[in-house]
Structure 1
Amino acid sequence: MRNCLVIVMGLLLTLGALGVYRLTDFTLPTDAQQHTLQVDYQQSRLEGTLIVPHGVVSPPVVLLVHGDGAQDRWSDGGYLPLVRYLVSQGIAVFSWDKPGVGASQGNWLAQTMDDRAHEAAFMLQQLKQMPELAASRVGFLGFSQAGWVVPDASAFAKADFAILVGAAINWRDQGSYYLRQRLSREGMSEQNIREAVARDSIDFATQFTPQAALRPCQVSCNRDDFERRNAFADARGAIARMHTPVMILMGKDDRNVDPQETLAVWAADLPANTVRCIKPVAGATHGLLRSRWFDYQLPSQWPLWKQGVFLLSGQYAWAPGALSGITDWIHTGTCTQ
């Protein structure tokens, strides 16, 4: 009996120590230099944080480009395991609060995807002007909605590389796919799903027109304005003009964006001479987390115990090979994922 108690206590202590170790993934690295940057951009002041690995001369720098929503620089802490991993691999990371979020002024709901592309390009150019980064390679790592941002931003700022995770192609098509996936998860029959998607398409055509997309907001832009002004976003034109070396990673179990469509469009439309790594990631979600554990459309749908799993997993919440594949691309342009 005593031996059993010793074993159980030892197991509990081991699990507790492992949990504490994993939780450090959700803190900023203490063995790196942190710089708070404030820049004035179009009548607003934007703020972000640059983290530079200690002792690395002219490290490559990656700018994080958010997906949808009111996201602060670290996406409520969700980015931190990724950030710590990148820094541990000798990569500097910069991210900033969206306009009107955190310490940044403005209103992200007033932005079109073109506005976001110019803002991201401006931020990259600001980093390139820093003396300590003058010899660094600088590029983008964007998520989801960044699929409409990064291709143009890379050209505007002459980025050295780009990475997109869960990149969308067409606003309308993405909405239909998202709806289909949601209704399927709710157990709706295929016939009813087809009818619901058809009704949604009719509603879209009724509510949104190219003319309405050009209409300015009445006072302060809200969510309806944001969707109206971006309803005809499509990445194909920017993809066809893109010459920045680019990595496209799509989780095979993505429930938000059709991975097959994105991979096919990028493979077909990207100029033939553009260096690329276009790959599906097995067992991965929209954000490349392990789909076996996190098979949801939104983090807000996670039950409390899944949130606990994420906190205890840290970097291991990501699908195997996803993070190392990203770092290989940043350092060497090698397509190893």
Structure 2
Amino acid sequence: MNKLKMLLMVAAALVLITGCSDSEKADTKNDEVSKEKKNTDEKEKVKTVDKKADAPKDQGDYKVWFEGDVERKGKLITVKGKTNLLPESRLMIGMDSVEGTIIGGNESLQVNDDGTFNTELEIPNEYKGLIKVSIKFEPSSDNQPIKDHYGENGEKLEGSFVRINEDSAAKQSIALLTFEVPQDVSNATIAIEEPKWDKPEDYGSEIIRIEEPDIEKDDRYLYVEGKTNLLEGTRLRGRLDIPGFFTSGFQDVVDVNPDGSYKMIIEKPQTNEKLKDVKEYELVISMNLGDNSWQSIKEAYGENGEKLQGEFIVEESNSKTAEKKISIVE
């Protein structure tokens, strides 16, 4: 009898222990499932909140801004930044050389939901000199929702990044950023900075003013920065006149900035083996209406420059041009 009682007590204890063990396992498994679900919910929640929080508060505002940088490491250029343009706005990224056109150097991308953008450009091995990079937003060539927001021709765009463009039949407003990326150093980073324009009082006057430019030199280029009172988009040509030589490649053509300022980059004569001993030459900065196709420029200065006035005007048989010569000594 005692043996039977003892066996019954042992069996009951085993059942109790097994039941507790199974219960603990079930509780543990339930806890793990609960924690996993909680973690998943938190991750999804964080992802959604962060994406919304990272978007600019003024996203879609007509006064557009950009920030970020253009970075070169070896032959790879990385363009990355942030803007308050609407998501899916198309940015056109251009890459060219000061010394010649780079085939296939252009591409486009869309602004992300949080306002960021990022792309990479590969510099062809044969290009060793200064590289020009541009970022352009052109509403007229974008999708219809973007046109509806900023205007069919970008007429609602505002801010210092905005430029006038008349390369097509209609007058347009675009956002434009330009950078010069050197290759004579191992790496280079150029920050995106908001330009500051300072229009002169005589801006757009028919009496043309071309100030003495600031000229800096290195082993390969002339960097010419100057001010005029010419209208935005007026095309200026800078060319080198080298005594005793007929040359055509030492020049740059640029469009005047919104305040009449400009910047040119011209290869030095010494980059050519035949001209390596040249010590003196002239920089000729000129504005010829034949170089200008914009209707607003022709209306302001005349189809053939007949309205141009002032000390820098050169009269020819049927036209007038503005011209300034600067002597350069190496």
Q: Give the TM interval when normalised to the shorter protein.
A: under 0.3
Determine which structure has the larger strand proportion and give its number: 2
Larger RCO of the pair (alpha carbons < 8 Å, separation 6+): 1
Question: What TM-score results when the alignment is normalised by the length of structure 1?
Answer: 0.24
- Structure ID, larger Rg: 2
Question: What TM-score results when the alignment is normalised by the length of structure 2?
Answer: 0.24
